[in-house]
Structure 1
């Protein structure tokens, strides 16, 4: 059996609403749009079924040092390419600050939406 999901497309207005919350945690220069990302995610299907806007983001978990002087998406892509993805048995995120940043980002994004509910 083969299963597939359509590409995940972020809602433009929801992304514009959420982005400042993420930038408040990481800094404006640290939130980037990588463009289309290959992979298999069903979150877009879930958002569509719920009639909810989709804002899907990726949280980096690699050592930040090599990325400190990257100035373009091409440089970032080259740095990311050899890093095992989250579905790899070799996936090993840097625990600190990955978990702290992730929890703060998710909390701030949720509060952005809940504050206006």
Structure 2
């Protein structure tokens, strides 16, 4: 069952402390477009199925990544794409979107998503590494 767009955005706005839903929406679009470029196959399809349709489409038709971005480069790319964002604030934007995405996905699917990503993304999802 996918999350409704209003509910998804409300969570992103709250976690990111955005002033407006538009700001939350812009962050969600950028982060999910970048994330989608890293995911393949059933994992991407299952994650999309749990997101509101507008964001599912972004995840399924992502920006094509020539190579997987390290977490650091993911942060830089996000900063470049979100107006007014910097490399200091981008992890905040990413965390707001990815923690909301992880909540929608559930633990099992989130672990499968992380397996497709380079090491270190756990922190961007707001999940500390297991020691």
- Please state which band the TM-score falls in when normalised by the shorter chain: 0.3 to 0.5
Structure having greater relative contact order (Cα 8 Å, sep ≥ 6): 1
Higher helix share: 2
TM-score scaled to structure 2, two decimals? 0.34
